[in-house]
Amino acid sequence: MKILRIYSKLPPFFGGMENHIRYLTEYQKDNGIQVNIFFNQGNKLSAHDVQILGAVPLHRIRPQFIGILFFYFGIMLHLLFNRTKVDLVHIHGDWSSLLFARCIKKLTQSSKIIFSFHGSAEHYTLLKKKMLTQMAKQADRVFCTGYNSFLVLKHHPGSIFQPSGIDPVFFEKKSVEKNKIITIITVASLSKVKNLATIISIAAKFPQLVFIIAGEGPERKAIESLIKRKDLTNVSVPGHFGKQELAELLQAAHIFLMSSLEEGTSTAVLEAMACGLPLVCSDAGGLSRFLEDGKHGFFIRDPKDVDAYCRLIKELTDSRDRMKSFGLANREFAKAFSWSSVGKQITEKMLDAQN
């Protein structure tokens, strides 16, 4: 079995999609499947991977659609001059990533196209939803990491709701003591879609609590400037952490807070659950469709409703027993999303699409 996997970025770029591709690829290789990756920026995961137009960081081009076009033109040129035969082509991205799917399928003589839609379609216009559903018809199997995206694509006969997986390190019980002051942690790329200004507004309402915003991204300076303008001393933005350090940081905290405007299914949420944290999250990606409000945490419909977050945070911090019960339920629930389980599920469904 030979799979060609396509996405523009690989680690050391950090993000849910990049980690998803790395862990899925490693799982499949460990199980005897040959996987080659076409990418633009990052490091090869194996000697067989191919960097396309590596001299130009295509993800920086705006509008983003132009960078995607260049990436896929580069792929087709490479395949024209370097004939490659594969069994499956696995494309990761949004609807525009499928524009050249049929051409790539023909050039590689593959039997099936697999598409993983990692984004969120919940704020798509009707036109974009129509384009997504039309483009998805080119794929034989569609994996949706977010439930709201699945609802848009559920009429596709090969559509499956499949969140990403959790690295084993987040399940390890470490000898980490909880912070003495109640700590509320957010793990996210520092970008506008994460709506981090709302978290800073929440922190201003709870000067007695500690807030940590872990991650890196283009909005870092703006976030730090906002914290300074509000003269907050209970909020820190310590940057990006390796998975071992991040697991310890999560286990020392008390509540996981997410304010995203849109998500697939947030890998950061799943990692926090594996570390036994209760959730107070926006309902981005349709979290409340597969997590139970009042059992795993609380979910807010309006991601900018500061008062709603504050009310629910207070409800949790006033009851240590409830925080503990949510945390225990979350740790148990997260086991279904270990990479050993998710990698197996995705691979079996990919291979099933070939039959």
Per residue in 25-41, pLDDT (tens digit) is 999 999 999 999 999 99
- Quick one: 343 and 278 in the same domain? no
Q: For residues 86 and 94, give the distance between their C-alpha atoms in angstroms, rounded to a whole number.
A: 22
- Quick one: 6 and 150 in the same domain? yes
Of 197, 166, 192, the residue nearest 272 (C-alpha): 166
Position 354 scores a pLDDT of 63
Number of domains observed in the structure of the chain: 2
Residue 231 structure tokens:
């003269």
- Quick one: 202 and 143 in the same domain? no
Q: For residues 26 and 28, give the distance between their C-alpha atoms in angstroms, rounded to a whole number.
A: 6
Helix, strand, coil percentages, rounded to 5, for the chain: 45, 20, 35
pLDDT of 355 strictly over 70: no
Per residue in 161-173, pLDDT (tens digit) is 999 999 999 999 8
pLDDT of 127 strictly over 70: yes
Residue 42 structure tokens:
């990052």
Mean pLDDT rounded to a whole number for the chain: 94
- Quick one: 83 and 177 in the same domain? no
Measured between alpha carbons, how far is residue 279 from residues 70, 184, 288 in Å?
40, 10, 11
CATH of the domain at 41: 3.40.50.2000
Range of the domain at 153: 2-165+338-354
- Quick one: 291 and 209 in the same domain? yes
pLDDT of 200 strictly over 90: yes
- Quick one: 136 and 255 in the same domain? no
